[in-house]
C-alpha cells in the first residue's frame, strides 16, 4: 500500500476551523465535504466557538476528539496553525492538510513558521500537505478536502491523475472536463513544506484507478525524489505528461518568485525528463490533448506502423492537416491495398481515396457510407490512429457525423482524434465531449499531441527503457571546500589513468627536456604553456601547433616564453606541456559534464564551435550513461551528419567516441562528490578505427591529485 493511501482514501476526517460564516474557507471546506462529497467515513468538526454546526457536534480541539482521524484538514487562521499541527502530531494523526495561506509566500516570517511545520513533521512522522493550497480533489472517490467553490463543478471521474504545486493551473486542467476528460484525482502541494509533487506522482504510479499522470513542474525541491517517482511510473507503464514552467529566462524568474523553488536549467530539465520517459509539452492545453490521447489508448504499433490516416469531407481541411502532420514529423500511413480497394468501391470517383481520404460531401447523402468508410480507414493495418479535422460546425450534418464517429470509435482498433477547428461549439461538440472523444481545438495542437503519442510509443519499444539507475551517491552534497580547476596536465593524467585516451604528453621544465620529450612522443607535437595562473593560453601566445622537428620545438620554447613574459608577466610558468598532435581528418567534438542542482551530474555532447554556440545543437543525459543511451546521445545532434560521413568526409570512429563517453561517465561516478564540472573540448574523433582523443581538458572540483603528467 502506498504511504499516501490513507491521505487520499481516508476512513475518517477532522475539519479544524469548521465554520458556518458564509464564504469563509471553513464553511466552504465543510460544504464540499458534507454536501458535495460522497464520503461515508467519519467526519469530526473542530471549532473553538461553536458546539454544533449544521446539526453536527463540534469538538473544541483535536485533543478532545473521540478518535484519531486519518486526515485533519486545517482551515484555521495562519496564526493558529502551529498549535493545531502540534496537537495533531501529539495525537498521532497521519496526515494534516493545511489549506490556510499566509506563510512562506508572504515573506521571511512566514518562512520561519514553515520551518516549524517541517520540524513537527520530522519529529512526529506526521505528513503535512500544503500549506497555501486548494487541497485534495479525489474525483473518483467523490471526496473533496478543499475549500474551492469549483469542486462541485469539476466531478467527471476518469483515469487521469493531476499533480501540481499551484492551484490555478491545476484547476485549469480540471476544467478540461468540459471538453470530456475524466480525472481520477487532483492533488496540489502548495508551499510544499513536506509533501511534494513527487510524492503525489509516486502515489499515482501505484493507484489502480489512474492510467496517466499529468504534472506541472513549477520548481523542483528534491530531484532524486522526483526521479524515483518518475521511474516508478515508468515501471508501472503509466505515462507522465509534464509541463515545465521556467524554460525561458522570463519564465524561470517568474516561476522562482512564484514557488520559491529551484527551476534549474531548462535544457537539463528537459533532457532529464525525456531520459526518464516523461512526455514534456509546451503549453497547458497540450497537457490535456496529450494525456487524454494516452489515456484513451496506449501507443502500440508494429515497426513502421507509427503512421496516421486523415479522414475528412473537406479538401482544404484535409490538406491543412496533412501539411501540419508533415511539418511535425508524423507519418501519413500508406494504406494497404485492401483499404484502398474498399474505399474505391464505396466512395464516388471524384473522392480522394489516398491518404488524406477526402470523402467529399458524398458521405452525407448516402446512409451508412460515412460509418463504413471511416471504419475501413480505422482498420487499415498500417494506421495507428485516425484524425478527423472538422473545419466548420454545420449544424445537423455535423451532429449526425458526431454520432457516427462515436459509433465507429466503439468498433475501431485505433483511436480517432477529432479536431474541432471552429469557434462555434454546437451540439456535436458536446456529443464528442460526452463520449470521451475529447476534441482538440486546433490542428497544430492536435498534431503535436499525436506526435508525442507516437514518440512515447517508440520509447515504450526500447528494451532498455527501465535500465537507468542513478548512482548511490545521487542527491548527496558535494564534498566540502571550494571548487578549483585542475591544471591541464593534471586533468589529463587523471583522465589517462581512467582509461580515457589523451594525447601522449609530458611536462618539460627546461628547453632540453622539451626537445627530448618531443622526440619520445613522436613528431608532430603541440606545445602549450604550463601555468596554473594562465586560463586562456592562446590569448597570451602560449600555444604552438604543428611542430614537425626538434628545431621547431626549440623555437616554440623561446617564442612562448617570450610572449608569456610580455603578456602575462605575473604568471608562474612551470614549463611547457608537450603533446602528440592529433592527425588531420578527424572531427572535433565537445564533451561536458556539469552538476545540476536538481538532477546531479549531466553530460553534454555536441560538435563544438558554431554548432553549439549558435545552433545549440547538443544532446544531454543524466549520468551514469548506459551504453544504449550513449549510442543514442551521439546520434541526436543534427550535426551528427559530420561524424557520419557527410560532405565526403570519412566515417568517424563513433565506437571509440562511445567508449570514451562511457569512461567519462565511470570517471565522474568514481569522483561524484568531488567533480563539479568537466570540459573535454575538443575531443578529436578520428576516422573509423583511429580512436578518439581528449585534446584539452578542464576539471573543476575538489579532486585531490598527486598525479603528474608523463608521456
- Residue 230: phi and psi, rounded to 5, are -65, -35
**Closest CB to a second copy among 28 and 179?**
179
- Which residue in the set 178, 267, 400, 403 belongs to the binding site for a second copy (CB under 8 A)? 178
Binders of a second copy among residues 443 to 482 (CB under 8 A) are: 443-445
d(CA 435, CA 392): 20
Note the maximum CA span of the chain: 102
Burial (CB count <10 Å: 0-12, 13-18, 19+), residue 119: middle
- Which residue in the set 253, 427, 458, 567 belongs to the binding site for a second copy (CB under 8 A)? 253
C-alpha grid cell, residue 133 = 493550497
- Which residue in the set 161, 246, 277, 457 belongs to the binding site for a second copy (CB under 8 A)? 246
- Which residue in the set 216, 226, 385, 493 belongs to the binding site for a second copy (CB under 8 A)? 216
Evaluate whether 663 touches 651 at the Cβ level (below 8 Å).
Answer: no
- Which residue in the set 255, 507, 521, 544 belongs to the binding site for a second copy (CB under 8 A)? 255
- Which residue in the set 422, 626, 673, 690 belongs to the binding site for a second copy (CB under 8 A)? 422
From 69-77, 366-374, 490-498, 611-619, span contacting a second copy (CB under 8 A): 611-619
**Closest CB to a second copy among 171 and 228?**
171
Query: Beta strand 240-244 with 160-164: parallel, antiparallel or unpaired?
Result: unpaired
Q: Is 285 in the site for a second copy (CB under 8 A)?
A: yes
Total interface residues for a second copy by CB under 8 A: 91
The terminus-to-terminus CA distance of the chain in angstroms comes to 60
d(CA 159, CA 293): 11
**Closest CB to a second copy among 49 and 106?**
106
**Closest CB to a second copy among 315 and 585?**
315
Binders of a second copy among residues 34 to 93 (CB under 8 A) are: none
From 4-12, 135-143, 176-184, 406-414, span contacting a second copy (CB under 8 A): 176-184
Binders of a second copy among residues 106 to 125 (CB under 8 A) are: 106-107
d(CA 129, CA 385): 40
3-state secondary structure of 233: helix
**What's the number of CA atoms in the CB half-sphere (13 Å) around residue 456?**
28
**Closest CB to a second copy among 324 and 486?**
324
The least distance separating a second copy from the CB of residue 11, rounded to whole angstroms, comes to: 32
The least distance separating a second copy from the CB of residue 231, rounded to whole angstroms, comes to: 26
**Closest CB to a second copy among 86 and 399?**
399
- DSSP string covering 400-460, please? HHHHHHHHHHHH-SS-EEEEE--S---HHHHHHHHTT---BSSHHHHHHHHHHHHHHHHHH
Q: Is 336 in the site for a second copy (CB under 8 A)?
A: no
3-state secondary structure of 311: strand
d(CA 86, CA 12): 19
Handedness of CA 156, 160, 161, 163 (dihedral sign): negative
Binders of a second copy among residues 305 to 324 (CB under 8 A) are: 314-320, 322-324
Handedness of CA 165, 167, 172, 178 (dihedral sign): positive
What character string, x for contact with a second copy (CB under 8 A) and - otherwise, covers 346-365? ---xx-x-x-x-x-------
Query: How is residue 479 annotated by DSSP?
Result: P
3-state secondary structure of 303: coil
**Closest CB to a second copy among 125 and 648?**
648
The least distance separating a second copy from the CB of residue 333, rounded to whole angstroms, comes to: 11
Evaluate whether 561 touches 508 at the Cβ level (below 8 Å).
Answer: no
Binders of a second copy among residues 514 to 573 (CB under 8 A) are: 538
**Closest CB to a second copy among 623 and 633?**
633
The least distance separating a second copy from the CB of residue 248, rounded to whole angstroms, comes to: 3
**Closest CB to a second copy among 384 and 553?**
384
Binders of a second copy among residues 652 to 711 (CB under 8 A) are: none
The least distance separating a second copy from the CB of residue 167, rounded to whole angstroms, comes to: 8
Amino acid at each position: 500500500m502506498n504511504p499516501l493511501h490513507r491521505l487520499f482514501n481516508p476512513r475518517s476526517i477532522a475539519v479544524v476551523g469548521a465554520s458556518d460564516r458564509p464564504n469563509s474557507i471553513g464553511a466552504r471546506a465543510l460544504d464540499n465535504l458534507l454536501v458535495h462529497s460522497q464520503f461515508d467515513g467519519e467526519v469530526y468538526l473542530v471549532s473553538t466557538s461553536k458546539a454544533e454546526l449544521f446539526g453536527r457536534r463540534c469538538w473544541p480541539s483535536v485533543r478532545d476528539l473521540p478518535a484519531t482521524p486519518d486526515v485533519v484538514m486545517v482551515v484555521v487562521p495562519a496564526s493558529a496553525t502551529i498549535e493545531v499541527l502540534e496537537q495533531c502530531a501529539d495525537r498521532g494523526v497521519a496526515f494534516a492538510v493545511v489549506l490556510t495561506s499566509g506563510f512562506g509566500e508572504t515573506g521571511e516570517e512566514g518562512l520561519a513558521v514553515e520551518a516549524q511545520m517541517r520540524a513537527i513533521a520530522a519529529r512526529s512522522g506526521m505528513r503535512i500537505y500544503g500549506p497555501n493550497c486548494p487541497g485534495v480533489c479525489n474525483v473518483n472517490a467523490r471526496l473533496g478536502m478543499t475549500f474551492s467553490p469549483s469542486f462541485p463543478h469539476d466531478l467527471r471521474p476518469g483515469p487521469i491523475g493531476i499533480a501540481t504545486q499551484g492551484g490555478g493551473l491545476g484547476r485549469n486542467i480540471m476544467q478540461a472536463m468540459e471538453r470530456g476528460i475524466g480525472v481520477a484525482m487532483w492533488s496540489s502541494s502548495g508551499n510544499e513544506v513536506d509533501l511534494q509533487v513527487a510524492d503525489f506522482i509516486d502515489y499515482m504510479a501505484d493507484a489502480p484507478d489512474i492510467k496517466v499522470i499529468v504534472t506541472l513542474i513549477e520548481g523542483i525541491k528534491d530531484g532524486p525524489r522526483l526521479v524515483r517517482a518518475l521511474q516508478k511510473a515508468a515501471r508501472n507503464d503509466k505515462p507522465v505528461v509534464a509541463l515545465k514552467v521556467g524554460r525561458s529566462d522570463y519564465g524561470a524568474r517568474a516561476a522562482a518568485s512564484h514557488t520559491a523553488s529551484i527551476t534549474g536549467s531548462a535544457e537539463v530539465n528537459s533532457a532529464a525528463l525525456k531520459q526518464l520517459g516523461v512526455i514534456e509539452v509546451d503549453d497547458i492545453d497540450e497537457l490535456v490533448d496529450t494525456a487524454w490521447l494516452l489515456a484513451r489508448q496506449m501507443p502500440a504499433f508494429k515497426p513502421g506502423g507509427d503512421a496516421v490516416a486523415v479522414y475528412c469531407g473537406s479538401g482544404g481541411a484535409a490538406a491543412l492537416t496533412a501539411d501540419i502532420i508533415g511539418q511535425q514529423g508524423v507519418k501519413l500511413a500508406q494504406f494497404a491495398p485492401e483499404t484502398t480497394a474498399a474505399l474505391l468501391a464505396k466512395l464516388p470517383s471524384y473522392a480522394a481515396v489516398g491518404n488524406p481520404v477526402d470523402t467529399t460531401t458524398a458521405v452525407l447523402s448516402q446512409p451508412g457510407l460515412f460509418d463504413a468508410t471511416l471504419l475501413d480507414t480505422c482498420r487499415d493495418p498500417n494506421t495507428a490512429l485516425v484524425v478527423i479535422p472538422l473545419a466548420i460546425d454545420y449544424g445537423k450534418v455535423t451532429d449526425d457525423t458526431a454520432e457516427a464517429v462515436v459509433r465507429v470509435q466503439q468498433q475501431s482498433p485505433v483511436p480517432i482524434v477529432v479536431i474541432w477547428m471552429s469557434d462555434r461549439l454546437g451540439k456535436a461538440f458536446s456529443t464528442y465531449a460526452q463520449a470521451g472523444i475529447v476534441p482538440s481545438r486546433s490542428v497544430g495542437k492536435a498534431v503535436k499531441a499525436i506526435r508525442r503519442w507516437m514518440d512515447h510509443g517508440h520509447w515504450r519499444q526500447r528494451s532498455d527503457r527501465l535500465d537507468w539507475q542513478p548512482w548511490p551517491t545521487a542527491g548527496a552534497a558535494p564534498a566540502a571546500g571550494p571548487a578549483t580547476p585542475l591544471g591541464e596536465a593534471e586533468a589529463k593524467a587523471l583522465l589517462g589513468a581512467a582509461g580515457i585516451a589523451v594525447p601522449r604528453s609530458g611536462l618539460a621544465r627546461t628547453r632540453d627536456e622539451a626537445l627530448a620529450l618531443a622526440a619520445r612522443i613522436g613528431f608532430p607535437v603541440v606545445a602549450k604553456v604550463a601555468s596554473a595562473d594562465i586560463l586562456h593560453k592562446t590569448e597570451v601566445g602560449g600555444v604552438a601547433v604543428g611542430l614537425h622537428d626538434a628545431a621547431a620545438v626549440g623555437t616554440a620554447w623561446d617564442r612562448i616564453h617570450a610572449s608569456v613574459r610580455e603578456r602575462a608577466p605575473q604568471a608562474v610558468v612551470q614549463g611547457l606541456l608537450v603533446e602528440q598532435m592529433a592527425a588531420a581528418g578527424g572531427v572535433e567534438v565537445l564533451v561536458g559534464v556539469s552538476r545540476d542542482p536538481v538532477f546531479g551530474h549531466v553530460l553534454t555532447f555536441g560538435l563544438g564551435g558554431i554548432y553549439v554556440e549558435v545552433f545549440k545543437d547538443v544532446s544531454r543525459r543524466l549520468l551514469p550513461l548506459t551504453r544504449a543511451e550513449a549510442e543514442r546521445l551521439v546520434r541526436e545532434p543534427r550535426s551528427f551528419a559530420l561524424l557520419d560521413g557527410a560532405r565526403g568526409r570519412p566515417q568517424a570512429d563513433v565506437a571509440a567516441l562511445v567508449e570514451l563517453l562511457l569512461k567519462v561517465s565511470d570517471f565522474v561516478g568514481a569522483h561524484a562528490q568531488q567533480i563539479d564540472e568537466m570540459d573535454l573540448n575538443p575531443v578529436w574523433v578520428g576516422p573509423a578505427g583511429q580512436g578518439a582523443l581528449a585534446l584539452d581538458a578542464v576539471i573543476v572540483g575538489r579532486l585531490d591529485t598527486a598525479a603528474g603528467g608523463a608521456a
